[in-house]
Amino acid sequence: MFEKWFNSHVLCLCNVGCMLPTNIELEKRLGLLYYVTSTDGVGGRIRGDIEDFRVVEDSEISLDSRGEHLVLVIEKRDVTTDFVIRHISKILGLDRKFIGFAGIKDSRAVAVQKFSIPFKEDIDVRKFDIIGKVKVIEAYRTSKKIRLGMLKGNYFEITLRNCIPSMQLIESTLRELNVLGCPNYFGYQRFGTRRFNTHLLGKHLLKKEYEMFFEELIYKVYPDESAKAKECRTLAREGLLKEAYNMMPKKLWIEKKVLNMMLKNFPPQKIIRSLGRSLLKFYVNAYQSYLFNLMVSERIARGLPLNRLVEGDFVKGGSPALPILGFKSKLPEGEAGKIVKDVIECENLELGVFNNRGLGLKVKGSLRKVNLNYRNLEFSNVGADALKFFFWLEKGCYATILLREFCKNEFYK
């Protein structure tokens, strides 16, 4: 679908001015069809070293010396937020539902974020430390459990290596961003790590295309996967399910679970339901993100501003917003409405599919700003071919989306 969408808009984009179409196939697959800036990119790569990507949560969880909850300010290194939650749960023998956190942070990074647990007098916070992975750097009492969304944003410190360290290029790009805004696309990591296909899984779930769901989850081979994973998928496609199951790496636990149930001849819908509502909703949310990306790309293609309102725009926090589609979504009017309706039509979509009772999925929808909110962006040379960026992003915004305007290459791989 993305090829049809992309090709149909390149010609009209040429008349808009300085926006550029991407030539990166992965970005096209994820709906990231355009750059808003016209400058050359500096190239480069991020995450060459774990220290190259640092993020610190910006939240105000107030101290209360008599509070019923304990805040753990944790620095995690090269592990997921879920890893930390499972670790705390295991140490305390505590159901994870009692562990609070405000948001998920990058795994391939050094990240500082807050977690909350029920307060007890005899808790020794040092027992949560894992050398090189998890360290409690502060602990204090508070009155309320931390919940998702209880943060303002995140501070980033990112080193770009093997790049053209041109301060002039960076300054030119930043000038354009300050005037034009930056597309608030959902970033690459929203769609997976090596396969980048979570949105396709969500699409097949919603449309009840269960065979296509299994094709995407189990059988299809992607170029960046490990040789072992590729071999397992090939075996599965050849009907050698037991061999594929036995060889499948443990970290691909979803595929292993599905293969095991296939071997036991469970019906497709029962296999899918066994994955759990939270995982299925994760896939659906990824498809919503893809649809939003297409809407932002269409807005750019039509030459409409990201940081100023146009006819029919929804407003969120004083900024233009587009719907994250769900079964209760209201569609905007005017130019903004045409964008949404075009995406829905191109995807052959009906909003009712977001209420899938058979799988227990009810996704109402919401709004998201079309302009990425960044502040205090600074940069400096840190070597012959390296640049360091410092900036703040509003919660829900992706650092990689801001950086792609400067790099204009596959810097995230």
**How many residues make up the chain in this entry?**
413
d(C-alpha 409, C-alpha 239), whole Å: 39
CB 307 within 8 A of CB 176: no
Residue 322's pLDDT is what? 98
Say whether pLDDT at 216 is over 60: yes
d(C-alpha 104, C-alpha 118), whole Å: 20
Q: Of 277, 304, 322, which closes a domain? A: 277
d(C-alpha 405, C-alpha 185), whole Å: 12
> What kind and span of H or E run contains 136?
strand 134-142
Could you tell me the residue range of the domain that residue 266 belongs to? Answer: 206-277
The tens digit of pLDDT for each residue in 229-288 reads: 999 999 999 999 999 999 999 999 999 999 999 999 999 999 999 999 999 999 999 999
Domain count, the chain: 2
Q: Which two tokens stand for residue 348?
A: 């052959």
Q: Of 277, 312, 331, which closes a domain? A: 277
Give residue 48's pLDDT band: very low, low, confident or very high (50, 70, 90). confident
Give residue 225's pLDDT band: very low, low, confident or very high (50, 70, 90). very high
Give residue 413's pLDDT band: very low, low, confident or very high (50, 70, 90). confident
The tens digit of pLDDT for each residue in 135-184 reads: 999 999 999 999 999 999 999 999 999 999 999 999 999 999 999 999 99
Residue 246 lies in a domain: yes
Whether 106 sits among the annotated catalytic residues: the reply is yes
Q: Which residue is catalytic, options 64, 82, 106, 124?
A: 106
What is residue 260's three-state secondary structure?
helix
Say whether pLDDT at 15 is over 50: no
Q: Of 151, 178, 194, which closes a domain? A: 151
The tens digit of pLDDT for each residue in 99-138 reads: 999 999 988 899 999 999 999 998 999 999 999 999 999 9
Q: What is the mean pLDDT of residues 397-409?
A: 98
What is residue 210's three-state secondary structure?
helix
What is residue 337's three-state secondary structure?
helix
Q: Which two tokens stand for residue 341?
A: 């309706």
Q: What is the CATH number of the domain that holds 100?
A: 3.30.2350.20
Residue 393 lies in a domain: no
